[in-house]
Chains A and B, each alone.
Chain A
Amino acid sequence: MKRAFRKNIFRTIKKSLGRYMAIFAIIALGVGFFSGLKSSKPAMMKTGQEYVREQNLYDYRLISTWGFDEDEVEAIKALSGVQAAEGAVSEDFIYINEEGVENCLKALSITEDVNFLTVEAGRLPEEANECVVDAALFSESIIGQEIVIASQNAQETRDSFAYESYTVTGLARSPLYLNMERGTTTIGSGRITAFVFIPLEGFSYEYYEEVYVDADITEEAFTDAYEEMIEARADSLEEESTAIVEVRYQQEIADAQEEIAQGQEDLDSEEADARQELADAKAELEDGQQQLADGQQELADGEQTLAEKKQELENGEQELLEGEEALTQAESDFAAGEAELEAAEAAFAQEEANLTQAEAQYQQGLADYEAGLLRYQTGKDQLEANREGYKQAKAAMEQMEEAGNTDNSDYTTAKTVVETFEANEAELAAAKTQLDGTKAVLDSSFAQLTEGRQQLEASRTLLAQSRQELESNRAVLAENRAQLNASRAQIEEGKSQLADAEAELADARQEIADSEQELSDGWTEYEDGLAELDTKIADAREELNNARQELADLETPEVYVLDRSTNVGYASYEGDVSIVEAVAKIFPAFFFLIAALVCSTTMTRMVDDERTQIGTLRALGYTKSAILTKYMIYSGSAAVFGACVGYVLGTRLFPLAIWTAYGMLYGFSDIILVDDFLLFLFSLLVSLLCSVGTTFLSCRMELSHAPAQLIRPKAPAAGKRILLERITFIWKRLKFLHKVSARNVFRYKKRMFMMILGIAGCMALVMAGFGINDSISNIVNDQYDNILVYDISATYSQAVTEDALQEIEEQFGQEITHQAVLMETSVDAPYDGGVKTVTLMVSEDESIRECVNFQLNGETVDVPETGEILIDKRLAEIYGVEIGDEIVLRTGEVETEPLTVAGIFENYTYYYAYVTAETYEQYFGEPFEPRTIYMALSEDADHYQVASYLSDMDNASNISVIEDMRVRVSNTMESMNYIVALIILCAAALAFIVLFNLGNINISERIREIATLKVLGFYPREAGAYVFRESMVLSIMGIVVGIPLGILLHRFVMLQIKIDMVSPDIKILPLSYLYSVLLVLAFTVCVDLIMRRKINRINMAESLKSIE
């Protein structure tokens, strides 16, 4: 190459550095993007491989149904192809952290030859009661503290540890756990949150559970070749190790048989002894029985005698009673007779007195009569004496009467004498009559009295006789009484004797009863002893038989050989890492297309600019190829530099950014960058194709013209009417300058195309970037606002009781809007590519539906029947199942029967499945134990206050506030922001390069036009607008084209990006459209502002120059 020619090239580059840089930058961007994305997977793969090799991750993991002992491990180690073999044990246990939250940890024994731990802080344990803990869960503050095996653990679990607590000496990572998945367990919540490594001596174990084998394998991890080698060796390893364990099996069978034989012998002799002893006891009992019978007979005799005597006594007593009764009767008769006699005697005395009195009365009467009679005689004599006087008085009176001389005192005296005489005479006559009557009465009384006295005397005699008789009776009675009293005393004595005899007899009876009891006790004892012996013998026999059966059933030991594909971290790594590669497919192609367009327009413009120079050179005699070479070197060198810079930056920045994004999942070591010469070569070739290829095409056209034509200036592209002008009603309404811009837009088709494509690409990228962000960040909201609508999940170590629910209701009845009681447990879902941990929700009723929305595309999913399961969409995608298909889940190592998928529901984070309690018990073989409560709270409720109350309740094991979970998931999502930022950055770079390049071309091409406008008096603003109205219109067209492109791109990217924890919902929010548009317009305006300065610097004098 000529020196002058070379100089020309250098000068050209120097003069048009902006143009050169445009080619350089777009190529650098394209190559950077391409090589960066392309090299990310290899880099991550390499990082994984290095880590796995350095930490000497096991190749095989042997698990035996019999465990392994020390010798067996040694024997395995001695097998061919085995570099190292090491026994290990592990145990899952419950650990209560400082906040009192229950965690399930997995304790593993530290292995010396495989699975090296990386100490992140502190040191490895030196004592058996020390440990290192999971660096992913614990922070350095734990160092020095104790990990206590909580008392909640089953005795069995506690027994597997040699100590009750272990001092943390450091934080570590284990190659067994490449990602954050820690697996499932059968205890506690079912999800293991972290691991703990303890020296082997810290465990109390009989056999190793597993043996980690480091095989002689030269292939790198994660490769097919490695897998093939591993598979090839696996079968023989299984056979050989099974044979090793089988030796112990044979030994154990022989031991057991001997033991059984010995046991049988012991049993037989023992039985004979016991039976003899029982027979002796029986004989003794029978003797006692005889003695008892005799005693009973004697007692019966005594009783008989006693009864007879008693009868006799009773008879005597009866007699006595009768005698006494008779005597008493007699006595009472006697008393009655006596009383009668005394009454008669009294009556007699009375009568006698009466008679005496009557006689006295009679004497009195008689005396009275005789006195009367005497007085009558005297009266009579006096009267006779007075008769003469009377007769005179009478006659005197009668004379006077007859004379009628009655009124004188003589008459009255005469009359009184007459009347007194007559009255005395009448009186005397009456007294004589009365006296005569009295005399008669006295006479009859006298007769009566005489008779009475006679009778009385007769009665006296009779009474005296009676008295005599009575007295003799009295004597007889007294004698009888004395006799009776004597017999009574006799009977009383008999009675007393009888009582004594009876007491004696009762004692004898008691004695008999006692000995009877004794004897019966003796019998019972004997029977019991016999029964006991029989049972004992039967038991012992059964035991022996069981042992025999057991021995017969004893399974031959089996050894399972597992490889790394059963390690979740390892198995997921490859798949997760491949995501980036898929993204690398579409982006770079797009960037290279833009690069080709940029190069093409730039070089076309350059060739146009230097048209006259080309003509001159041609005229001077330079060949076409020489001239072509200049431009090819120009663009080619820019491309080579660009490719180099792009490659170096891309292959470093991209893996780093992506690794940072993945750091949340796989943060095990720093990324190892990988340089791939072929990739570089390919990038370079594509770059050259884009630059030199397009240069060749655009130059060849120019060079095909004759030199003479080239020397003359190229006629500027003629003005043309555009389609829009024909739509007059729009055209007429446009402002004049807008019309100009409209026409300018379509003036250069290629540039318009490039501009639209560039801006569209930029728009698509920005939209994809925002879209990724939307799709992922909204997952969190969708997940926790629309799917898992509960706010608190409270898990207890025992089934939730009615009382507890009552208590919660009383305390937070106001705050809780919905509530569901269920069982939440973790199960494994094995699928072709690995294993996923699934949260299985089990409930009896449908209340769970108020806390978890089972729905797909707005339609509610029905509750499953027994044997059916609801799974989330993500799981369905992984399994590739649809409604009606069957899936198998796993708890620990046990697989369930196939479950029919009854429905698929939307879910974005983790994996969820739902079955009814019935299905759970039948298909998972474990009891339904609803230990979890989901609670949805009202908006103003204080979640943490409720949570703190719930965690203070009995048996509280894990209270999680969804708000916390939301934050945690958000944090994970944030790692995606790196990728989003990277994409937006690239979009910005793309937009700048395209816009800047076009702006540059536009201005340099129209420098004269712009100068003229300025001379015409356009203000700088107007002059700028004149040019940039165009680029704005083109930008808007680009944006319009870019929107559908962006939607497609976003969809494509999202289909590739699937982080394990979340599955994005592919969508772009309206706001993101707005942001994308604004951002792209901002890029446009930004470039415009830079370009405006360039316009302002255009000298108006340019307009005066002649056309070159």
Chain B
Amino acid sequence: MAFIDVQKVNKIYHSGDVEVHALKDASFQVEKGEICVIVGQSGAGKTTLLNILGGMDTATSGKIFLDGVEVSAFRKKQLAAYRRNDIGFVFQFYNLIPNLTALENVELASQLCKDPLDPEEVLSEVGLKERRNNFPAQLSGGEQQRVAIARALAKNPKLLLCDEPTGALDYQTGKAILKLLQDASRGSGMTVLIITHNSALTAMADRVIRVKSGTIADQRLNEKIVPVEQIEW
């Protein structure tokens, strides 16, 4: 069985009388250590997929396995533990705690899980050793996202989920962030799932999954992986 195995997942939202079928029989697999890019239009269902994979939401039907464990069978509490120990999150808007310094934001995560990495080291790795005692408001967007990535990495998760990590960043900074993610995956063999509407990013992925109107339109392995530095968009 693959590291991530999504089997016929459906997600239906009820809002009042309206039913929204956000995911229809979505199935795909991702192997361990891969960088997987999920790409699709706004409203295609990528965020729903990410929510379900990240344990932030549950599927209406279908099964999801991570490392052989059935995540879709988890109860609320188990989901929280799952998020806590197995998942790292990188948000589009960083979502740093404004009242904590860069280092403390990393610590906030690392102190949660069972087998964390050293926050200072992780922060050095993302190149923010010097700024570790700055508050988010004192950091630039790229720096804030680095802190966010460091926070996710420090948990030493099985799976790193990134939601439009470059969405709020300029081109150069975005590239630097993607490089960081790629390096993290390559360096520690971490499985990274990046969600984006930007197809250009597919070039850096080991595996590309296209989502369209709630269904998996295409799922393929990238034959020709391009280093991040060479990607243009």
Contacts from A to B (Cβ < 8 Å): 715-720, 736-737, 739-740, 743-744, 747, 1008-1009, 1011-1020, 1100-1101, 1103-1104, 1106-1107
Minimum CB–CB distance from B46 to chain A (whole Å) comes to 11
Is B56 among interface residues, defined by CB-CB distance under 8 A? Answer: yes
- A719-B136, A719-B137 known; A1017+B87 contact, CB < 8 A: yes
Residue of A nearest to B87 (CB): A1017
Is B111 among interface residues, defined by CB-CB distance under 8 A? Answer: yes
Query: Is the CB–CB distance between A736 and B108 below 8 Å?
Result: yes
Measured in the bound complex, the distance between the Cα atoms of B104 and A1019 in whole Å is 19
Query: Is the CB–CB distance between B95 and A1012 below 8 Å?
Result: yes
Contacts from B to A (Cβ < 8 Å): 47, 51, 54, 56-57, 77, 80-85, 87, 89, 91-93, 95, 97-101, 104, 107-109, 111-113, 135-138, 151, 155, 163
Query: Is the CB–CB distance between B104 and A740 below 8 Å?
Result: yes
Contacts of A737 in B (CB 8 A): 111
Minimum CB–CB distance from A211 to chain B (whole Å) comes to 84
Minimum CB–CB distance from A1024 to chain B (whole Å) comes to 13
Can you list 29 A-B contacts (CB < 8 A)? A718-B137, A718-B138, A719-B101, A720-B99, A736-B108, A737-B111, A740-B97, A740-B100, A740-B108, A744-B99, A1009-B97, A1012-B91, A1012-B95, A1014-B80, A1016-B83, A1017-B81, A1017-B82, A1017-B83, A1017-B112, A1017-B113, A1018-B84, A1018-B112, A1019-B77, A1020-B80, A1101-B51, A1103-B95, A1104-B92, A1106-B92, A1107-B93
Query: Is the CB–CB distance between B111 and A718 below 8 Å?
Result: no
Query: Is the CB–CB distance between B80 and A1019 below 8 Å?
Result: yes
Q: A1015-B54, A1101-B57 are in contact. List 14 more A-B contacts (CB 8 A).
A: A718-B138, A743-B100, A1008-B95, A1012-B91, A1012-B95, A1014-B56, A1016-B84, A1017-B112, A1017-B113, A1101-B51, A1101-B56, A1103-B91, A1104-B51, A1106-B92
Measured in the bound complex, the distance between the Cα atoms of B77 and A715 in whole Å is 34
Query: Is the CB–CB distance between B113 and A719 below 8 Å?
Result: no
Total inter-chain residue pairs, C-beta < 8 Å:
93
Minimum CB–CB distance from B1 to chain A (whole Å) comes to 24
Contacts of B151 in A (CB 8 A): 1016
Minimum CB–CB distance from A326 to chain B (whole Å) comes to 173
Measured in the bound complex, the distance between the Cα atoms of B93 and A1014 in whole Å is 16
Residue of B nearest to A1009 (CB): B97
Query: Is the CB–CB distance between B109 and A719 below 8 Å?
Result: no
- A1017-B112, A1103-B95 known; A719+B100 contact, CB < 8 A: yes
Contacting residue for A1018 out of B80, B92, B100, B163, CB 8 A: B80
Minimum CB–CB distance from B14 to chain A (whole Å) comes to 14
Query: Is the CB–CB distance between B97 and A1012 below 8 Å?
Result: yes
Minimum CB–CB distance from A608 to chain B (whole Å) comes to 15
Contacts of A1106 in B (CB 8 A): 92-93
Query: Is the CB–CB distance between B99 and A743 below 8 Å?
Result: yes
Minimum CB–CB distance from B115 to chain A (whole Å) comes to 13
Residue of A nearest to B88 (CB): A1016
- A1016-B89, A1017-B83 known; A718+B112 contact, CB < 8 A: no
Query: Is the CB–CB distance between A740 and B112 below 8 Å?
Result: no
Residue of B nearest to A739 (CB): B104
Interface centre among B80, B82, B85, B113 (most CB of A within 10 A): B80
Contacting residue for B137 out of A716, A747, A1009, A1101, CB 8 A: A716
Measured in the bound complex, the distance between the Cα atoms of B94 and A566 in whole Å is 82
Contacts of A1020 in B (CB 8 A): 80
Measured in the bound complex, the distance between the Cα atoms of B136 and A743 in whole Å is 14
Residue of B nearest to A746 (CB): B99
Query: Is the CB–CB distance between A1017 and B84 below 8 Å?
Result: yes
Contacts of A719 in B (CB 8 A): 97-101, 135-137
Measured in the bound complex, the distance between the Cα atoms of B104 and A288 in whole Å is 149
Residue of A nearest to B110 (CB): A736
Minimum CB–CB distance from B37 to chain A (whole Å) comes to 18
Query: Is the CB–CB distance between B98 and A717 below 8 Å?
Result: yes
Measured in the bound complex, the distance between the Cα atoms of B183 and A1058 in whole Å is 80
Contacts of B85 in A (CB 8 A): 1017
Interface centre among A739, A747, A1015, A1101 (most CB of B within 10 A): A1015
Contacts of B47 in A (CB 8 A): 1101, 1104
Minimum CB–CB distance from B125 to chain A (whole Å) comes to 19
Measured in the bound complex, the distance between the Cα atoms of B160 and A1015 in whole Å is 13
Measured in the bound complex, the distance between the Cα atoms of B97 and A717 in whole Å is 11
Residue of A nearest to B138 (CB): A718
Measured in the bound complex, the distance between the Cα atoms of B100 and A747 in whole Å is 11
Contacts of B135 in A (CB 8 A): 718-720
Residue of A nearest to B48 (CB): A1101
Query: Is the CB–CB distance between A1016 and B108 below 8 Å?
Result: yes
Residue of B nearest to A1022 (CB): B112
Residue of A nearest to B82 (CB): A1017
Contacts of B163 in A (CB 8 A): 1104
Contacts of A1014 in B (CB 8 A): 56, 80, 83
Minimum CB–CB distance from A183 to chain B (whole Å) comes to 71
Contacts of B51 in A (CB 8 A): 1100-1101, 1104
Measured in the bound complex, the distance between the Cα atoms of B53 and A1100 in whole Å is 13
Residue of A nearest to B151 (CB): A1016
- A1017-B84, A1017-B112, A1100-B56 known; A716+B98 contact, CB < 8 A: yes
Contacting residue for A1016 out of B93, B98, B109, B136, CB 8 A: B109
Contacting residue for A715 out of B104, B112, B137, CB 8 A: B137
Query: Is the CB–CB distance between A736 and B101 below 8 Å?
Result: no
Interface centre among A1008, A1009, A1013, A1017 (most CB of B within 10 A): A1017
Measured in the bound complex, the distance between the Cα atoms of B138 and A720 in whole Å is 11
Measured in the bound complex, the distance between the Cα atoms of B82 and A1008 in whole Å is 21
Minimum CB–CB distance from A352 to chain B (whole Å) comes to 191
Residue of A nearest to B164 (CB): A1104
Interface centre among B81, B97, B104, B107 (most CB of A within 10 A): B97
Measured in the bound complex, the distance between the Cα atoms of B138 and A1019 in whole Å is 29
Query: Is the CB–CB distance between B92 and A740 below 8 Å?
Result: no
Contacts of B82 in A (CB 8 A): 1017
Residue of A nearest to B157 (CB): A1017
Contacts of B111 in A (CB 8 A): 736-737
Contacts of B81 in A (CB 8 A): 1017, 1019
Which 4 residue pairs are nearest across A and B when measured between Cβ atoms?
A1017-B84, A719-B135, A1017-B83, A718-B137
Measured in the bound complex, the distance between the Cα atoms of B108 and A1008 in whole Å is 16
Measured in the bound complex, the distance between the Cα atoms of B92 and A1107 in whole Å is 11
Measured in the bound complex, the distance between the Cα atoms of B80 and A1020 in whole Å is 8
Query: Is the CB–CB distance between A1016 and B112 below 8 Å?
Result: yes
Minimum CB–CB distance from A44 to chain B (whole Å) comes to 54
Query: Is the CB–CB distance between B84 and A718 below 8 Å?
Result: no
Residue of A nearest to B136 (CB): A719
Measured in the bound complex, the distance between the Cα atoms of B136 and A1107 in whole Å is 15
Minimum CB–CB distance from A229 to chain B (whole Å) comes to 71
Residue of B nearest to A1023 (CB): B80
Contacts of B95 in A (CB 8 A): 1008-1009, 1011-1012, 1015, 1103
Minimum CB–CB distance from B40 to chain A (whole Å) comes to 15
Measured in the bound complex, the distance between the Cα atoms of B54 and A1011 in whole Å is 13
Interface centre among A719, A1106, A1107 (most CB of B within 10 A): A719
Query: Is the CB–CB distance between A736 and B80 below 8 Å?
Result: no
Query: Is the CB–CB distance between B99 and A1015 below 8 Å?
Result: no
Measured in the bound complex, the distance between the Cα atoms of B98 and A1009 in whole Å is 9
Contacts of A1103 in B (CB 8 A): 91, 95
Contacts of B99 in A (CB 8 A): 719-720, 740, 743-744, 747
Residue of B nearest to A1015 (CB): B89
Contacts of B112 in A (CB 8 A): 1016-1018
Residue of B nearest to A718 (CB): B137
Minimum CB–CB distance from B48 to chain A (whole Å) comes to 9
Measured in the bound complex, the distance between the Cα atoms of B107 and A1101 in whole Å is 23
Minimum CB–CB distance from A852 to chain B (whole Å) comes to 65
